Structure 1
């Protein structure tokens, strides 16, 4: 799965997903975004680059501002370990063939 990690995503989660073979790019590493990018800009770049957005920002992404997006995975509980995030993403990937326009919560997949 190709993911765009929002700035609030823990390094441990990113590393666990990369170790599992996922292509994870961080918002802060994208020239068009960087630190403190607005939520609509983050979602627009995720959509343009066809990357599922990985975020801990439940308040702004549980009801996405865009009509179409490649999918959003929300880690609402920031105490989750990298292993838990990896396990949930594996389950999502096995069960949902296309995350487009869907919002998935890690807690629902553990």
Structure 2
């Protein structure tokens, strides 16, 4: 089963919210993950090695890496317009991810999808 790695724009509390809902999720900013301030390439490589699908709103950079052939364990793309990094926006994002993971499998190796609204 693929877990999630939340990009650096998301707080560890969002990963905790997902874990509380029974999902395997960590955040780049979780101290034990050790990815804070790492490059996008490093984040994508770590996620691939650890079988984690990256959830990110950094669409341009991660799509560029994927199109350049960087292997990954899946990408879930999010737009800041649909899920702003406000308290309510992060809550909606957590709900959308939880709803998605309750009915769907995260994208697999080298697959990319946009997170639908819940």
| TM-score range for the pair, normalised by the shorter chain length | 0.7 to 0.9
Specify the alignment match of 1:40 in structure 2: 41
The Cα of 1:82 is off from its aligned counterpart by 2.4
* Structure 1 runs (4+) greater than 4 angstroms displaced: none
Query: RMSD in angstroms over aligned alpha carbons?
Result: 2.6
Contact 1:9 1:54 in 2 (8 A): no
Give the TM-score normalised by structure 2: 0.69
How many residues align? The count is 107
Give the TM-score normalised by structure 1: 0.73
Specify the alignment match of 1:58 in structure 2: 59
Matching residue within 92, 95, 102 for 1:86: 95
The Cα of 1:5 is off from its aligned counterpart by 1.7
Q: Equivalents in 1 of 2:110, 2:16: separation in Å?
A: 25
Check if 1:73 corresponds to 2:73: no
Check if 1:14 corresponds to 2:21: no
Q: Point out where structure 2 has 5 or more consecutive residues left out of the alignment.
A: none
Shift in alpha-carbon separation, 1:96–1:24, aligned structure 2, 3 A: closer
